[in-house]
C-alpha cells in the first residue's frame, strides 16, 4: 500500500486551547479516508493544515515521501480542496466558476473546456451551466464546489463536511460522486460527523475527539469489538424510580446509561433478556413509550470509546 501522505505528531494550539494534540496518520493512495468526529474535534484544523492553509505548531507532513514544506507548489497542484464553507463567485455562472478554478491549476484552451464540461456533468449541473450561482440551492452550490475541486483531475481531494445542511438528494449525489472518484483511482480525505456517510463511502476511518485520534480502522475492524453486543434504547415516562443497578442484575447487561426519559443498555448478543429488562421498568411502575434495538454501528463504537453520542 503506497502512502500518499504521512502525517506525524501534528499539534496546534489556539491560545490555551490545545486543538490538535499530536496526531499521526497515513493516507493510502486510492482510498477514501473518512475522518469522523463531533463538532470541535479538530477535523477542520487538521484539514486546514493538510491543505497548507494553516500552519501547525509542530509535526511533519510528507507527500509521496517528501516534506511538503519544500515542495509546497507541487503538492498544492496535485490537490483539490472542498472547504467547509462554500467558496464560489455568486455573480458568475457555474461554468465561469469552474473555468476560473480550473485555470488556477494551469488548464487552458481545449483542455480547460473539456475539463469544465466533464465537471459540470459530474456535478449534475450541465443543464444549469449558464446560470448564476446565486440562483442555486445550497445543495447545487455544494455540488459545484466539489466540481471546482476536481475539474483539474487532482490526485488527492480533500473535502471538509461537504454535506452539512443540504437536501437529501444532493447529499446522495455527492456520496455517489465520491464513490465514482474512488473507482476512478482518486484518493479522497473526507471529514464528517455523520456516521451513515462513513458507512457508505469509507475505505478506512479515523475517529477523532478532542484533538486526538481515538480509533482507526475499516468499518468492519472498528465494529469487531462490538459485534457481540446489542444495544437497546428504551424511552420511558420518567418517574425517577428506576436505578441503573436494577438493570445490571439482569443477565447479559454490560452497560447502562440513563439520561432523563431515555435508557441506553448494551447487552451480550446471545442472551435473550429483553423481557427481563422490560420487567425491571414495569416493576418500578414506569411506562415504556418505545424500545428500539440496534445492530452494531459506528455510533455505538463512538459511544463505547467516549461515553458520548456523536451528535451530543
Ligand atoms: N481560528 C481559530 N481560532 C481559535 N479557535 C479555533 C479556530 N479554529 C478552530 N478553533 C477551535 O478549535 C477546536 C476545533 O475546531 P475545528 O477544527 O473546527 O473542529 P471540527 O472541524 O472537528 O468541528 C474548536 O474548539 C474550535 O473552537
Ligand atoms: Mg469543521
Dist. CA 10 → ligand 1 center (Å): 15
Query: In which residue ranges of the chain is CATH 3.30.70.100 found?
Result: 228-295
- Per-residue pLDDT at 30 exceeds 90: yes
Specify the ligand 1 atom closest to the Cα of 161: 21
Mutation pick for ligand 1 pocket among 10, 12, 13, 17 (CB with most ligand atoms within 8 Å): 17
What was the pLDDT predicted at 269? 86
Q: Express each pLDDT in 75-126 by its tens digit.
A: 999 999 999 899 999 999 999 999 999 999 999 999 999 999 999 999 999 9
DSSP for residue 134: G
Q: What pLDDT band is residue 308 in, cutting at 50, 70 and 90?
A: confident
Q: How far is CA 254 from CA 56, 137, 266, 276, in A?
A: 41, 46, 6, 14
Distances (CA, A) of 100 to 105, 110, 148, 276: 9, 14, 9, 65
Q: 59: number of CA atoms within 13 Å, CB side?
A: 23
Retrieve residue 117's grid coordinates.
464540461
CA distance 263 to 233: 6
Q: What is the pLDDT of residue 227?
A: 84
Residue showing cell 500518499: 4
Cell numbers describing residue 287: 411506562
22 lines ligand 1 (CB under 6 A): no
Please check whether residue 112 is in contact with residue 156, taking contact to mean a CB–CB distance below 8 angstroms: no
> Rounded to whole angstroms, how far apart are CA atoms 160 and 297?
22
Q: DSSP string of 20-85? A: EEEEEEEEETT-EEEEE--TTSSHHHHHHHHTTSS--SEEEEEETTEETTTTHHHHHHTEEEE-SS
Q: Is 48 in the pocket of ligand 1 (CB under 6 A)?
A: no
Q: Does pLDDT of 239 surpass 80?
A: no
Q: For the ranges 67-71, 131-135, 162-166, 201-205, which has the lowest average pLDDT?
A: 67-71
Q: Which residue has the higher pLDDT, 308 or 34?
A: 34
What is the predicted pLDDT for the residue at 312? 55
Tell me how far the alpha carbon of residue 45 lies from the centroid of ligand 2, in angstroms: 7
Q: Which three cell numbers stand for residue 220?
A: 468492519
| Cβ of residue 43 lying under 6 Å from some atom of ligand 1 | yes
The domain defined by 228-295 folds into Alpha-Beta Plaits (3.30.70)
| Of the listed ranges 111-115, 183-187, 224-228, 262-266, the one predicted with least confidence | 224-228
pLDDT at 176 > cutoff 90: yes
Pocket flag, ligand 1, residue 53 (CB < 6 Å): no
pLDDT digit string, tens, across residues 46-86: 999 999 999 999 999 999 999 988 778 889 999 999 998 99
Cβ of 239 closer than 6 Å to ligand 1, yes or no, is no
Check residue 1 and give its pLDDT: 81
Task: Report the top-level CATH class of 3-223.
Answer: alpha beta
Give the strands of the sheet with 3-14, arranged side by side: 17-28, 3-14, 58-63, 66-67
Ligand 1 neighbourhood includes 19 CB (under 6 angstroms): yes
Closest CA to 311 of 293, 299, 301: 299
Residues of the chain with CATH 3.40.50.300: 3-223
Q: How far is residue 62 from each of residues 10, 19, 76, 136, measured CA to CA in Å?
A: 12, 21, 13, 38
Tens digits of residue pLDDT in 243-256: 899 999 999 999 99
34 grid coordinates: 473518512
Coil, strand or helix at 256: strand
Amino acid at each position: 500500500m503506497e502512502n500518499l501522505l504521512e502525517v506525524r505528531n501534528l499539534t496546534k494550539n489556539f491560545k490555551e486551547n490545545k486543538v490538535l494534540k499530536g496526531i499521526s496518520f497515513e493516507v493510502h493512495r486510492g482510498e477514501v479516508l473518512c475522518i469522523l468526529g463531533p463538532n470541535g474535534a479538530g477535523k477542520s484544523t487538521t484539514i486546514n493544515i493538510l491543505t497548507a492553509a494553516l500552519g501547525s505548531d509542530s509535526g511533519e507532513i510528507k507527500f509521496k515521501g517528501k516534506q511538503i514544506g519544500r515542495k509546497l507548489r507541487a503538492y498544492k497542484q496535485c490537490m483539490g480542496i472542498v472547504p467547509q464553507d462554500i467558496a464560489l463567485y455568486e455573480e458568475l455562472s457555474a461554468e465561469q466558476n469552474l473555468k476560473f478554478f480550473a485555470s488556477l491549476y494551469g488548464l487552458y484552451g481545449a483542455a480547460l473546456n473539456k475539463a469544465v464540461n466533464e465537471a459540470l456533468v459530474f456535478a449534475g449541473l450541465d443543464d444549469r451551466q449558464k446560470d448564476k450561482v446565486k440562483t442555486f440551492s445550497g445543495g447545487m452550490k455544494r455540488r459545484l464546489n466539489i466540481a471546482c475541486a476536481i475539474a483539474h483531475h487532482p490526485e488527492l481531494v480533500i473535502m471538509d463536511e461537504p454535506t452539512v445542511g443540504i437536501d437529501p438528494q444532493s447529499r446522495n449525489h455527492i456520496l455517489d460522486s465520491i464513490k465514482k472518484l474512488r473507482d476512478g483511482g482518486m484518493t479522497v480525505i473526507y471529514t464528517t460527523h455523520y456516521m451513515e456517510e462513513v458507512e457508505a463511502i469509507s475505505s478506512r476511518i479515523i475517529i477523532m475527539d478532542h484533538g486526538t485520534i481515538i480509533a482507526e480502522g475499516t468499518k468492519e475492524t472498528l465494529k469487531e469489538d462490538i459485534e457481540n453486543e446489542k444495544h437497546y434504547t428504551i424511552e420511558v415516562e420518567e418517574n425517577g424510580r428506576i436505578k441503573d443497578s436494577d438493570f445490571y442484575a439482569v443477565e447479559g447487561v454490560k452497560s447502562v446509561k440513563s439520561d432523563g426519559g431515555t435508557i441506553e443498555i448494551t447487552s451480550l448478543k446471545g442472551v435473550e433478556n429483553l423481557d427481563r429488562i422490560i420487567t425491571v421498568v414495569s416493576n418500578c411502575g414506569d411506562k415504556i413509550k418505545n424500545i428500539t434495538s440496534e445492530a452494531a454501528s459506528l455510533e455505538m463504537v463512538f459511544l463505547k470509546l467516549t461515553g458520548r453520542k456523536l451528535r451530543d
